[in-house]
Amino acid sequence: MTDPSRDDELVFLPLGGSGEIGMNFNAYGYGPPDNRKWIVVDCGVLFGRETTSPGVDLIMPDIRYLAEQRGDVLGIVATHAHEDHIGAIPHLWPMLRCPIYATPFTAILIEGKLDEVGLSAKVHPRRVKLGGKLTLGPFELEFISITHSIPEPNALAIRTPLGTVVHTGDWKIDPDPLVGEVTDIAALKRLGDEGVLATVCDSTNALVPGESGSEAKVREALTTLIGTCKGRVAVTVFASNLARLETVAIAAKANGRHVALVGRSMHKITDAARETGYLKHFPSLLDEEEAAQLPPNRALYLCTGSQGEPRAALARIAENNHPNISLGKGDTVIFSSRVIPGNDIAIHELHNKLSQLGVEVLSADDHFVHVSGHPCRDELAEMYRWTRPQIAIPVHGEARHLAEHARLARLLQVPQAIVPENGQLIRLAPGRAGVIDEVPAGRVHLDGRVLIDEGAGLARHRRALAFAGLIAITVVLDGKGKVMADPAVVIDGIPEPVHDAIRNALAEPLRRHNPKRDLDGYDLKESLRRAARRAADEAWGKKPVTRVEVVQV
């Protein structure tokens, strides 16, 4: 590795994930301020929510700052295949057009995503082997196997002439993770011995004391629990949690049950896993039709839909309209998953529907059927003991998680902890680390098939439509400005009893319209708009979005 030039700096730039759990997008820059080379670590999405962003499927970071320098972006490196780390690649790659690097399992899932948007001919993710190395300009990257809730999660050691950054990705400690490697503690300690400038680390569980727990314990508990079930059993899990799929399959087998996978993403993940050599010890699977032929106490369905997703397998079972699976009295559904914030109502509704069918519902609320894939406080403490960085940078968390993580790092004697915000350009070296600039940042919505700036306020405007509906009035004037007919009034999303009040309120502005003074109806438009809104407010207590058009014939 060459020595740094006098002007060289190593900078960290989060554009997503610092302030939210999701939408991870972190860039590292190296070089003089006017000529930095960049690498991007992860490129993920957040899911839209009907409350705050109705009609928005995916939320992604605004990366225009890097897009403007795309000739200097040397690559996107994906730590693992969760949506919040790779989900934005098919949508944002066209702005960067750089190589993509990932370990094999992750690469296959990225390929699938690129294929879905017709980009597979333009870019192929380059495969890096587990524990592999990669040089991108001034950055020397080493992939370090860790444990998480998906196959092939990696931390990255990012070596530069100005020091080494450990970017943890999403991780936990599990001495017995069932699938994949245990966290490569030796490698992390070796880095600590070499000297680590900064550890950029997962904050998801920074508020949770203790340890996240072992998958092997879940296996034991599920084996016992399934043993108590008499009828059909369905278990719903995150499809990407291959270790959990194996846990459930082993627990099923121990109880003489055959497993069928139910739901599209179950098949997508297991196909990718088989292609990369996983699932060799997985018990053989039945298809849905075969499982339906078994006696109830011999079948177990592994289903998608743990978050109450309305079109997933479990929702269809609960609605009793799944083509092959029907559950009822004596059957059991186990939610081997957590409740992602914002999904509680949808999940409760699913519980209720299953309960109304007579199904018994078991979940992490009342049984030990899930462990988190993210490090709790004792695990974070281990990470700082291993890597002994000069700087702690908490990422992958909301403000409260980041703040608490920084507090913990300081307690653990890390000399400096920096809570970053998306868009802050943070110099890591040389000199004392700190924010040196703010670059454009924000969120972009995938709204239908169109990418639009959150700042344009379209989703927010649709919330106004959802609150108070819309009035569209069209008035027809002749060439001399005279009103030619009753206006056309579209009233939408407003209670019937309010309609007459709105229509009646238009008479007065129309009567007062003076064609001579207002030939093109400019003033009339505004007075109609005001009259309609005032009438709605008086009759209803809400002011609808109101649009007035003039057609002149």
Binding window for a second copy (CB under 8 A); candidates: 63-71, 129-137, 218-226, 398-406? 398-406
Helices (H), 332-484: 344-356, 377-387, 399-411, 458-468
DSSP 377-413: HHHHHHHHHHH-EEEEEEESB-HHHHHHHHHHHHHTT
The interface with a second copy within residues 235-264 (CB under 8 A) comprises none
Residue 449 engages a second copy in binding (rule: CB under 8 A): yes
Least distance from a second copy to the Cβ atom of residue 458, Å: 6
Position among 254, 470, 510, 519 found at the interface with a second copy (CB under 8 A): 470
Report how far residue 429's alpha carbon sits from residue 197's, in angstroms, rounded to the nearest whole number. Answer: 8
Nearer to a second copy, 76 or 88 (CB): 88
Size of the site for a second copy (CB under 8 A): 72
Position among 411, 436, 485, 507 found at the interface with a second copy (CB under 8 A): 485
The interface with a second copy within residues 450-469 (CB under 8 A) comprises 450, 452, 456, 458, 461-463, 465-469
- Quick check: 231 and 332 in contact, CB under 8 A? yes
Residue 122 engages a second copy in binding (rule: CB under 8 A): no
Report how far residue 465's alpha carbon sits from residue 459's, in angstroms, rounded to the nearest whole number. Answer: 10
Position among 35, 135, 326, 352 found at the interface with a second copy (CB under 8 A): 352
Binding mask 513-542 for a second copy (x = CB under 8 A): --------------------------xxxx
Binding window for a second copy (CB under 8 A); candidates: 67-75, 167-175, 289-297, 350-358? 350-358
Residue 348 engages a second copy in binding (rule: CB under 8 A): yes
**Distances 466 to 7, 383, 541 between C-alpha atoms, Å:** 54, 47, 15
The interface with a second copy within residues 206-225 (CB under 8 A) comprises 207, 209
Q: Which residues lie closer than 8 Å to 210 by C-beta, 6 or more apart? A: 376, 377, 378
Binding mask 487-506 for a second copy (x = CB under 8 A): xxxx-xxxxxxx--------
Binding window for a second copy (CB under 8 A); candidates: 100-108, 128-136, 142-150, 360-368? 360-368
User: What are the backbone dihedrals phi and psi of residue 185, each rounded to the nearest 5 degrees, phi first?
Assistant: -65, -35
Q: Which residues pair with 154 in a beta bridge?
A: 145
What are the tokens at 97? 């057009």
Least distance from a second copy to the Cβ atom of residue 426, Å: 17
Residue 398 engages a second copy in binding (rule: CB under 8 A): yes
* Total length of the chain: 553
Position among 142, 152, 447, 454 found at the interface with a second copy (CB under 8 A): 447
Binding window for a second copy (CB under 8 A); candidates: 44-52, 241-249, 254-262, 434-442? 44-52
Residue 399 engages a second copy in binding (rule: CB under 8 A): yes
Helix (H) or strand (E) holding 532: helix 522-540
Least distance from a second copy to the Cβ atom of residue 447, Å: 6
Least distance from a second copy to the Cβ atom of residue 318, Å: 11
DSSP 25-67: EEEEEEE-TTS-EEEEE----EE--TTTSTTEEEEEE--HHHH
Q: Hey, is 538 helix, strand or coil?
A: helix
Handedness of CA 379, 381, 387, 390 (dihedral sign): positive
Nearer to a second copy, 258 or 367 (CB): 367
Least distance from a second copy to the Cβ atom of residue 459, Å: 8
What are the tokens at 521? 């109806």
Nearer to a second copy, 275 or 492 (CB): 492
**Distances 451 to 87, 94, 266, 447 between C-alpha atoms, Å:** 14, 12, 28, 6
Binding window for a second copy (CB under 8 A); candidates: 33-41, 180-188, 248-256, 445-453? 445-453
Residue 547 engages a second copy in binding (rule: CB under 8 A): yes
Position among 194, 275, 486, 520 found at the interface with a second copy (CB under 8 A): 486
DSSP count for the chain of H helices, then E strands? 17, 28
